[in-house]
Amino acid sequence: MPALQSTVIILLAAILITYMVNQKPANNTKMFERELDDTYDYIVVGAGSAGSVVAARLSEDKKYRVLLLEAGGHYDQSEAMHVPIRWISLGQPEHYWQYYTEPQKHAFQGMKENRGLLPRGRVLGGTSSINGMQLTRGSPFDFDEWEAAGCDGWGFNDVLKYFLRAENIDIDEYDSSSYHSKGGPITNTYSYRTELSDVYLKAGKELGYPIIDYNGKGQYGFSTGQKSIRNGVRSSTGLEYIGNAEYKDNLHVSLNSLVTKINIVDKQAVGVYFIKDGKKHYVKCNKEIIVSGGTINSPQILMLSGIGPRDHLTQLGIPVHADLPVGKNLQDHQMLLLKTKINKPISINPGVLGSLWNQFRYKFFKTGPYTTNGLEGTAFMHLDKTKVGKTYPDIQLIFISFLLRENILNMKQEYAEEVFVSDDNAHGFMVTVCTTHPKSIGSITLRSTDPFDFPKINPAFYTDERDIDTMLEGVRVFEQLMGTKAFKELGVNLDDTKYNFCSDYTLRSDDYWKCVIRYVSSSMFHLTSTCKMGTRDNPTAVVDPQLRVIGIKGLRVADASIFPNVTSGNTNNPTIMVGEKAADMIRNGK
């Protein structure tokens, strides 16, 4: 009996120690509790995927005082935000900008009011605190294209060091890779994997695709999904660069602070107006203001401040400080979600997550299915294989090891009942077919001069028919995959994509799939390019290659809105890279 008691005590002690080690550090609370100064050297607007990076890096210079303003609250207000598998149900409006597109003619026909949902993070860490955590850099050809268009210093060989600076690789097979590094704030890991993870790769091999590291030399082929997760917890920029970082006395973070306008005097940004706790505030800036509000918020703030298309601002009575194409060139990946049930219990379903054992594993050891985002496979492919190694891919497939049961896409109920799964006991997986470089270009404009009014967002999906054709080719690859031995052994069934709302067309004909695409495909939530980077003589550019707003001193933009063109794949990681590079340029006086 004494031996048994000793064993129990040791086991309980081990569990307690492990539990304590795995809890989130509650660091840097002083940064959020300070009285704000009247003046700062640098003011960063938006604590998202890039803004948290910029503020953290700038504050490494102790001689400068940095203010980080965030419209949302702290990530610890929602424990679910840290649990990887719960990303799909992070629907709390207080942590989201609940944006919707304007009604679309060529897309979203199965959505309520023909409007697509575009959630953006309104919380410390921004969208990196609510996204799917797939870690993707983009194709090297993406960045070389930026450089070729006049964005000196943005070629792949230039930006690679910033990807490496941000990364902490936790994948054994890439430990010695020159394309990966250890010690950075954002952990890159495979995390927990189901048996489906290997099946995705086997299916790709059957079709002749190579197995590759899509964050390496190139993207063409099939890969295990890489994830921004550290020790079972979401690795967001808010947590890693701000919350868990070394305390800095010169960094102040003001949450629940909605920036309404940049104060511009004689073509120079000199301060920021914001609202907090129902009161108006103003802080002055000695050196630079960096706008990192994201692809939607950054152009809205600039236009409210008098930087944007002259005709548009004049119509709203906003004095124009710089006539620039702000809000133009909106780009976003289009996505079609396809599903199939399987006959083996190897996916993640409510029964798996409801298991007391799996809940125990996560709570005390940060292991098990709760530590994954479910995005366990990724494939990039060229529709014309003669272009492999010569340019970026056309299509991205993401393999998700669960069936979606929640209507997260603003779908009309009658369509949602067919697209989503109601049986909690069912096992299966989903494949998202995504365009990597859509031809349809949208825009963002102000709805009014009220900063609380959401802007008008028009993605213009499928206004260019080539995007429909590209998506259709991606669907055909999905069909080929479903015919492989690897998937057939799981009992996959293409009838799971048989929808009554497109029954006027022959099942799986071109017209059938085009119908499905126009009805239920959605945004991939990868909005970019509304404050486009380019040379100062480029009439389509808003910022120069140093991210300085053209024609305005002391003002930069650093987030996904500066992308000249959207990158191939998930955009969070290249946005972090932009934050790293922006801070480096500012600190080096560029």
Same domain, 225 and 202: yes
Does some domain include residue 179? yes
Same domain, 215 and 273: no
At 533, list the tokens: 């980077």
Indicate the helix (H) or strand (E) that contains 234: strand 233-234
Contact indicator for 508, 543 with CB cutoff of 8 Å: no
pLDDT in tens, 514-567: 999 999 999 999 999 999 999 999 999 999 999 999 999 999 999 999 999 999
Mean pLDDT by 10 residues, the chain (590 residues): 48 47 53 87 98 98 97 92 90 83 97 96 96 98 98 98 98 97 98 97 98 97 98 97 90 97 98 96 98 98 98 98 98 98 97 96 96 98 95 98 92 95 96 98 98 98 98 98 98 96 97 98 97 98 98 98 98 98 96
Which of 492, 523, 554 is a domain's end point? 523
Contact indicator for 562, 585 with CB cutoff of 8 Å: no
Q: Tell me the whole-structure pTM to 2 decimals.
A: 0.95
Same domain, 309 and 184: yes
SS3 category, 307: strand
Same domain, 230 and 240: no
Q: Measuring CA to CA, which residue among 369, 263, 326, 403 is closest to residue 562?
A: 326
C-alpha distance from residue 425 to each of 351, 362, 373 (Å): 7, 22, 19
- What is the Cα–Cα distance from 526 to 302, expressed in whole angstroms? 20
Give the pLDDT confidence score for residue 443 in this predicted structure.
Answer: 98
Between 465-482 and 510-520, two packed helices, what is the crossing angle to 10 degrees? Answer: 110
Check residue 329 and give left, alpha or beta (phi > 0: left; psi -120 to 50: alpha): left
Cα 395 to chain centroid, rounded: 18
SS3 category, 322: strand
Beta strand spans in 2-115 (E): 39-45, 66-69, 96-100
Contact indicator for 138, 569 with CB cutoff of 8 Å: yes
Across-strand partners of 97? 120
Backbone angles phi, psi at 387, to 5 degrees: -95, 0
Beta strand spans in 292-400 (E): 307-308, 322-323, 334-341, 375-381, 395-400
Same domain, 218 and 174: no
Same domain, 501 and 582: no
Does some domain include residue 477? yes
Same domain, 513 and 572: no
The residues, any chain, with a CB within 8 Å of residue 80's CB and separated by 6 or more, are 86, 89, 90
Find the distance separating the first CA and the last CA of the chain, reported in whole Å. Answer: 71
- What is the Cα–Cα distance from 572 to 526, expressed in whole angstroms? 8
- What is the Cα–Cα distance from 465 to 334, expressed in whole angstroms? 13
SS3 category, 536: coil
Q: Containing domain of residue 224, as a range? A: 77-87+118-144+190-235+331-444+453-523
Same domain, 393 and 464: yes
Contact indicator for 346, 427 with CB cutoff of 8 Å: yes
Which of 491, 523, 555 is a domain's end point? 523
Burial of 17 (0-12, 13-18, 19+ CB in 10 A): exposed
Q: Measuring CA to CA, which residue among 114, 116, 225 is closest to residue 525?
A: 116
- What is the Cα–Cα distance from 423 to 426, expressed in whole angstroms? 6
The residues, any chain, with a CB within 8 Å of residue 553's CB and separated by 6 or more, are 267, 268, 269
Give the pLDDT confidence score for residue 245 in this predicted structure.
Answer: 85
Does some domain include residue 470? yes
At 556, list the tokens: 């930069």
Does some domain include residue 397? yes
SS3 category, 438: coil
The count of other CB atoms within 10 Å of the CB of residue 553 is 13
Give the pLDDT confidence score for residue 573 in this predicted structure.
Answer: 98
Give the pLDDT confidence score for residue 10 in this predicted structure.
Answer: 46
- What is the Cα–Cα distance from 206 to 128, expressed in whole angstroms? 35
Does some domain include residue 111? no
Q: Measuring CA to CA, which residue among 192, 222, 217, 219 is closest to residue 207?
A: 222
Q: Position 541: which residue type? A: A
Same domain, 357 and 488: yes
Give the pLDDT confidence score for residue 338 in this predicted structure.
Answer: 97
Q: Measuring CA to CA, which residue among 149, 261, 137 is closest to residue 533?
A: 149
Domains of the chain: total? 2
**Which of these is catalytic: 252, 333, 437, 526?**
526
Same domain, 44 and 55: yes
Same domain, 162 and 183: yes
**Could you tell me the sign of the dihedral formed by the alpha carbons of 460, 393, 522, 95, in that order?**
negative
CATH of the domain at 432: 3.30.560.10
Instruction: Judge whether 74 counts as a catalytic residue.
Output: no
In the numeric block, the tokens 């909005």 are attached to 527
Does some domain include residue 478? yes
Which of 490, 507, 523 is a domain's end point? 523
Does some domain include residue 61? yes
| SS3 annotation, 127-175 | HHHCCCCECCCCCHHHHHHHHHCCCCCCCHHHHHHHHHHHEEEECHHHC
pLDDT in tens, 428-448: 999 999 999 999 999 999 999
Give the pLDDT confidence score for residue 9 in this predicted structure.
Answer: 43
* DSSP string computed for 456-496: EEE--TTSSHHHHHHHHHHHHHHHHHHTSHHHHTTT--GGG
Backbone angles phi, psi at 568, to 5 degrees: -80, 110
CATH of the domain at 283: 3.50.50.60
SS3 category, 395: strand
Does some domain include residue 101? no
Same domain, 158 and 276: yes
